[in-house]
Chain A
Amino acid sequence: MNRALLRISLACLVMFVLLLINMNYVQAFETTKLAGEPGNVRVFDEQFTFPRGAILATGDGTDVKIAESLPVKGTDTYQRYYPDGPVYAPVTGYDTMYSTTGIEHAEDSYLSGTSPRLAVHNLAALLTGKQKQGATVELTISPAAQQAAYSALASDGGHAAAVVAINPSTGAILAMASYPSYDPNELTTTNGTKLNQVDQQLLTDPSQPLLNRATQMILPPGSTFKIVTSSAAFSTGTVANVDTTIPAPTILTLPNGHTLHNDDYEVCGDSNPPIIEAFYLSCDTAFGDLGMKLTAPVLRDYASKFGMNSSLSSFPLPVATSVLPEGTGWTDPSYTAYSAIGQYNDAVSPLQEAMFAAAIANNGTLMEPYLVQQVVGSGLAVIQAAKASVLSYAVSPAVASDVQSMMYEVTHNPGGTAYLTAGPQATGGITIDGKTGTAQNGVNNTGLNDAVFTCFVPGTNGSPSPIAVGVMVQGGGYGADAAAPIAVQVIKAYLGAHS
C-alpha cells in the first residue's frame, strides 16, 4: 500500500501547492483590482482611518496648504479640509466618501498612498510601525495670483468667468480660478444623506458651480485669435513685417454676399493701415481679409501649433479641447474670414487663452502646461517631479518678436483697445502686452458679448517672461473693460509676491 500512499502524498502536495499559488495570485497580483471593485467596504472605511496626503500651493516659494486631512475629535478618523475652499476648488476638486474630482482625483493614488511607487515607503512604514500616510502633492499654483484671480472674478458682477495664469518659460500653471465656485468642505461630510443633498444642490444649480470654467468652458476667442492669424501671416510671409500695410475696408463683402464690418462701423486707420495699427485697433475687416488670403487649412495649422485641436491629455484636470474645427464646407473663404477673427466655430478655453500669450511671451515656444510640481512621500523623498517640456514650436522667435511688439501697442498706444484698462496708468508702471477680444454670440449675435483678454508681462534684460494670463468673462461685454482689469490684478498680485 505504500506506493499508493506515496502517490496520495503527492496529491496532497499538489493541493497545497495549488492553494499557495492561488493565495499568491489573490494577495499579491489581484490586490489592486480587488481594491478597486465598486463597493469595496474596506477601502471605503479605510479612507477615514489615515491622513490623506495634503495638497500644497507652492508657486510663491512657500508651502500653502489648500487641502489637508485633519483628525476628527473624539474618533480615530480623519476628515478632509480645504482652508480656502471656493478659491482653490477648480484645482483641488473635492474628495467625498464616494468620489473625487480635480487634483484629488488625478493624484488619488499618491494622496491615498496606494500608488505602487509608494510601495517602498509603505513597507518602511509597516516595518517601523508608523502610521500609513498619503503622499503630499505640491502644485505650481501661486497663492497670491490665485487669491487675486478669484477675488477679481467674484467682484466682477456675477458673470461666469475664469482666469488662467501660466509661467511662459516652463508651462507651470500659476493660477486657475473659476466663478461661480463652490465650497468643497460641504462635500466632506460623512453623513450620506447630507452629502447627497449638497451634491444634488450643486448639480442642479443653474450657475454650474462644479464646472471648472478655466479648462472646461469653451467660448469664441474673438479678436484674441488675431494673434494666431498674425502669426500665420508673418510665418508664411503673407505679411512681411509689422509695418506692412493691409487692406482694412469699413465693410468687407464676403464671397457669399454677407458683409463683415468693424465694431460700430468704425473706419480702420486710412483703410489700408500697417498691420500693427489694424492689430491694436482690432480691425475685423483687415484680419478677415487676411484670413481669406491665408486659407482655412493654414489658419487651422497655426491654431494647432498654439495648442488648439489637442486634448492635452497629460494635463491632470479635465480639459475641453479648444478647436478650430473641420466641418462641412469649413474651407469656404466666407467662413474663414470669420474664423480668422475668432468667430464662427472657433472655441477656446481660458487655459488656451493663456497659452496664446504664453507662446508669444516665450519667443514662440509653447511649453506644455502642468500643475503638479512634485509629489513628496512621507519621508520627504521626492517620488515624482515635473520636468518642463515643449508642447510645440508655435512660431519662430522673429515672428514672436513681431507679435510681441503688436501686443505692446494694444496696451501702450493711446489708440490701443486696452490702453485705458491695461496700459501703464492702469498697471502702476508694470508693462503688460496683451490682446483684447469681444466675442459675439447667441443667435444672430443677439447674446451678450463674451469678454476675453490674453496678455503677458515681457521679460526684461534677458530674463524670461514671468507670467501670461488668459481671462474669459461670459457675457461680460468688451474684453478691454471686463476682462483686462482682472488680468491686471492677477499680474500685480503675482509680481508683488515675487519682487
Chain B
Amino acid sequence: MTVAADVDRPVAMPRGRRRTELVMLAFAVGVVLLAYAAVGLGLRGKLPGLPADLVVFAALMVAAHLGIRRFAPHADPLLLPLAALLNGLGIVMIYRLQESGRNGNPGLQVTDMSSSATTTQLLYTGVGVAVLIAVLVVIREVRVLQRYTYTLGAVGLVLLAIPAMLPTSHSVVNGAKVWIIFGGFSVEPGEFARLALAVFFAGYLVSKRDVLALAGRRVLGIVLPRARDLGPVLIAWAASLLILVFETDIGTSALFFGMFVVMLYIATQRTSWLLIGVTLFLAGSWLTALMVPHVMERFTVWLHPFAGSNPTGIAYQPVQALEGLAFGGLFGTGLGQGQPYHTPLVQSDFIFSAFGEELGLVGVMALLLVFGLLVQRGLRAALAVPDPFSKLLVGGLSFVLALQIFIIVGGVSGLIPLTGITTPFLSQGGSSLVASWILVALLIRVSDAARGPAPQPIQDEGMTQVVRAG
C-alpha cells in the first residue's frame, strides 16, 4: 500500500439543520424533565414541582443552541441534543442519589455526596456550555490548533504531572492521586491533559505521517519507523504512562495508550501499529499485574468476584454494582425505586450501574445507543472533513470517547477488569463534564467545517494576469 493512493475525497453532507437541532434538543430536554418527574414519583410517590435547576438546564441548552446557530451554523444537528440528553440524565441521576435518605426520602444516604451535588453539577454544566461557546468563538478552524502542537503537548504533560508532584493532601481523592485540590475546589487535570495531548499527537503525526508510513526498516515482516521520527511521540507517551502509573490511575493510562495507538494507525494506515499496540498493552498489563499487587487485585476481582470473602472485601464495590444491575433486570426498578446507594462511589465511576438498576436493560441499551450515536457522529465528521489534522484529531477523540465508555461500562458490568474512570457526561464531577463539552465543541467545529460550504479560493480575481516586465 502507498500513501499516494489514499486520496481523501470529501463526503457530501447536508447543510445546516439548526431547526432540526432545536426540535431534537427540545425532545432531549423533555426526556430529562420526565426523568426528573419519575424520580419524584419514585421517591415520594408524587409529582415534584418544576425545579429551578431544570429551568436553568433548559436555558443553558438553548444558549448552547444559539451559540451553535451563530458560530457553527452548519454543524451536525445531532451532537448537541445527544450531549444535552446525557448531561441532563446525569443531573437527574445525581439528584436522585443526592436525595436518597435525605429530606424524608427512602433509602440510605450516598457517602461522599453533598446535599448540593445537583446544583454543583448544574454549575459545571453552565461552565461546560460557556466553554463550548468560547471554543466555537475562539477556534474558528480546528487546524489552527496545529500551530500549538508542541505547546499543547507540553501543557498536557505538565497538567498530568502536577498531581504527582503535589502533596497527598492536595492531590488524592479515594486513593487516586490525580487531583489538584485547593480550598474547596478540585480539578482533575488528566481530563484536560487528554485533550491537549490529542492535539499534540495529531499535530505531530500529521506532519510526520509520510515519514512514519514510508521510511523504516523491515523487521520480521513489520516495517518499524526510524527512532528519530518516533522519538518525540514515544517520549511523550512513555512520560504520560509513567506519570499515570505513578499516580495509580490505570484506567486513564489505558485511555492514553489507546488514543496514541489509534491515532498512529489512522495517520499511517499501518495495521502493524495496531498489532504492536495491542501486544504492548497486553504484555504491559500482565507485567504490571505481576509487579503491582493493586493491579493483580483488579484481575482477581474481575475473575472471581464472588469467591470467598471477596464480596464483602476487595470485590465489594463491583459485586454491589453487578447485584444492582441484576436487581434492575429487564425493565429496572424505576427511577428512585432501586437501591443504588449500596454501591460505593455510585455517583461517579459507578453511575452507570445506578442507571442499570433503575432503568433496567432497556434503559441501559438506550444509553449505550446514545453514546454510540455520539461516537458515530464524531467519526462521521472526521471522515467528512478534508483537513488531515482535523480528521486525525477528531477521529482520535471519537475513538477515545468510545474506549472510555467501553472501559468504564465494561468494568462496571464485569466484562473487563475494573479501572476507575468517569462516565462521560453522566458522572458527578466538573472536570470530566467540562472536558466532555470541550470534546463536543471540537466535534461541532469540525462537523461545521465538514458540512459547510467549500472554502472560497483566496484569489478570486479572474484569470491570472501575466505581467511582462518591460
Contact = CB atoms under 8 A, between A and B. Distances in A.
A23 B356 contact: yes
B398 A20 contact: no
Contacts of A123: 331
Given A3-B6, A20-B368, A34-B322, A15 B360 contact: no
A444 B372 CA distance: 82
Interface in B1-18: 6, 8-9
Contacts, number: 142
Contacts of B265: 4, 8
B402 A15 contact: yes
Contacts of B372: 12-13, 16
A3 B269 contact: yes
Contacts of A3: 6, 269
Contact of B379 (A12, A33, A34, A43): A12
A37 B311 contact: yes
Contacts of B342: 41-42
Interface stretch (A24-32, A207-215, A481-489): A24-32
B326 A35 contact: yes
B320 A5 contact: no
B403 A27 contact: no
A42 B406 contact: no
Contacts of B6: 1-3
Contact of A6 (B312, B330, B383, B406): B383
A37 B306 contact: yes
Contacts of A31: 326-327, 329
B330 A28 contact: yes
Given A19-B406, A27-B364, A5 B325 contact: no
A4 B311 CA distance: 43
A201 B391 CA distance: 75
A386 interface: no
A27 B328 CA distance: 7
A27 B262 contact: no
B267 interface: yes
Contact of B368 (A5, A16, A34): A16
A1 B329 contact: no
Nearest to B328: A27
Contacts of A203: none
Interface in A37-73: 37-43, 45-46
Contacts of A46: 327, 339
B166 interface: no
A9 interface: yes
B455 to A, nearest CB: 20
B323 A37 contact: yes
Contacts of A40: 323, 327
B402 A16 contact: yes
B180 interface: no
B266 A8 contact: yes
A5 B364 contact: no
A22 interface: yes
A471 B267 CA distance: 88
B462 to A, nearest CB: 35
B415 A1 contact: no
Contacts of A26: 322, 325-326, 356, 413-414
B402 A28 contact: no
A34 B395 contact: no
B368 to A, nearest CB: 6
A97 to B, nearest CB: 16
Contacts of A15: 402-403, 405-406
A27 B323 contact: no
Contacts of B391: 1-2, 5
B183 to A, nearest CB: 36
A1 B338 CA distance: 47
Contacts of A43: 323, 327
A8 B395 contact: yes
Contacts of A205: none
Given A2-B8, A12-B379, A18 B402 contact: no
A20 B364 CA distance: 9
B361 A28 contact: yes
B122 interface: no
Given A22-B415, A41-B339, A5 B379 contact: yes
B292 to A, nearest CB: 26
A13 B382 CA distance: 16
B382 A5 contact: yes
A240 interface: no
Contact of A9 (B9, B376, B388): B376
A6 B376 CA distance: 10
Contacts of A42: 323-324, 327, 338-339, 342
A76 interface: yes
B309 to A, nearest CB: 10
A25 to B, nearest CB: 8
Contacts of A12: 372, 375-376, 379, 398-399, 402
Interface in B328-343: 328-331, 338-339, 342
A240 to B, nearest CB: 66
Interface string B360-371: 110011001001
Given A9-B376, A37-B311, A27 B410 contact: no
B323 A41 contact: yes
Given A8-B265, A27-B364, A22 B323 contact: no
A27 B398 contact: no
Interface string B338-361: 110010000000000000100011
A11 interface: yes
B368 A1 contact: no
Interface in B280-331: 306, 311-312, 319-320, 322-331
What 10 A-B pairs come out closest when comparing CB atoms?
Answer: A34-B326, A27-B361, A12-B402, A15-B406, A22-B415, A31-B326, A42-B327, A4-B266, A16-B372, A9-B379
15 contacts: A1-B388, A3-B6, A11-B399, A20-B368, A22-B414, A22-B415, A23-B368, A23-B413, A26-B414, A27-B330, A35-B327, A37-B323, A40-B327, A43-B323, A76-B106
Given A15-B406, A19-B406, A39-B311, 15 more contacts: A3-B269, A4-B265, A16-B375, A18-B410, A22-B410, A22-B413, A23-B368, A26-B322, A26-B413, A27-B330, A27-B361, A34-B322, A37-B306, A40-B323, A46-B339
Interface of A: 1-6, 8-9, 11-13, 15-16, 18-20, 22-24, 26-28, 30-31, 33-35, 37-43, 45-46, 76, 123, 126
